[in-house]
Amino acid sequence: MKVLFAGGGTGGHLYPGVAMAAELKKRVPGVEISFAGTTAGIEATEVPRLGYRLHLLPVRGLKRGRSLRDLAANVGVLKDFASSLAQALSIIRKEHPDVVVGTGGYVSAPLLLAAQLSGCPTLIQEQNAFPGVTTRMLARMASEVHLSFAESRKFFGDSSKVFVTGNPAREFPAEPREACLDFFSLRSDLPTLLVFGGSRGARAINNALLRFCDRLDGKVNLIWQTGSLDAERVQSEVSPSATCWLGPYIQEMGKAYGAADLVLCRAGASSLAELTNLGKPSVLAPYPYAAADHQRHNARALVNAGAVIMIEDTNLADDASLETILDLLGDSERLDRMGHASRGEGHPGAAAELAARIIALSKS
């Protein structure tokens, strides 16, 4: 059995494919798995590190602006797409994959299209609540489309091949709250706020925390992943505290989730999959410059479910935002209700279910 995963650029598009690949290796002895990506994406280093073959394509994303410079750049982008499609067709003819799986990012488009033109079964896994135009177009010829949010169904016509399966995410073993707090040297008698913005960080979140951290001190535990870009600046401005753990990156994310009563973060699809699988209540601050504003759509889906509260990026540093967070941390009953709603939106078996669908498609 051969499976080709097409997707990348960011971890949000790559790691769902990695999770499905790992599940396939458990289920199908001798399965051959490869990925397609670009030299500019995270897959260029991560895929070889994980031991998978990587096919590189010259595809690039379209510029969204309307200036003459953007229009001129898009001429080159279209030429690269034509070249990538030709290469993708060659890869399909050479590799003869049983299934091609698209997980998003502009690199998935030429591979999915080449597979569809070649009669190869294709499966699309969409992480976000608002699917992009390319995904919606390619879904018309896809064998199956798997969504992370039920709200996304309205964008796809043929419901017989559209499934809400969830977004494959990292799994974390359950650990006692007190043991997790001990790991971070924090107090067990205080509620705990976990804050992160990705490996590079989220500047608006960091700036808001810098403004409020003195007012949080002694009232709540704070586990704060600053990201690499802001680490030095934040560490230079924050005084040491017995109720604050501070670092550029959290290696033991399972322990951080285990200690947290509330999470403050962006609304990326992978983070939301982890939060809902674990049943964590959260305050989401969607990144306002995400493509097609997809983080806001992701957050809105969970707001409607009663699992999260959303705060606009521009309002993070307002006193009202701090009061919202403190009120939540002091209301265990409301946190329990939000956590229950959050777990109801989770799909902890997503990787296993998607692997089973890929295997079934390979036999068809």
Annotated binding site for UDP-N-acetyl-alpha-D-glucosamine: 10-12, 128, 170, 199, 250, 295
Contact, 24 vs 101, CB < 8 A? no
The residue behind tokens 């977004």 is 167
Structure tokens at 334: 């409301």
Instruction: Output b/e per residue, 276-297; b: 16+ Cβ within 10 A.
Output: bbbbbbbbbbbbeebeeebbbb
Q: What is the end-to-end Cα distance of the chain in Å, rounded? A: 12
Cα dihedral 116, 118, 119, 120 in deg (nearest 10): -80
52 token code pair:
């998978």
Which residues fall in the annotated binding site? 10-12, 128, 170, 199, 250, 295
Q: Calculate the alpha carbon distances from 301 to 100, 149, 193 in Å.
A: 29, 7, 22
Q: Cα–Cα distance between 78 and 8 in angstroms, integer?
A: 19
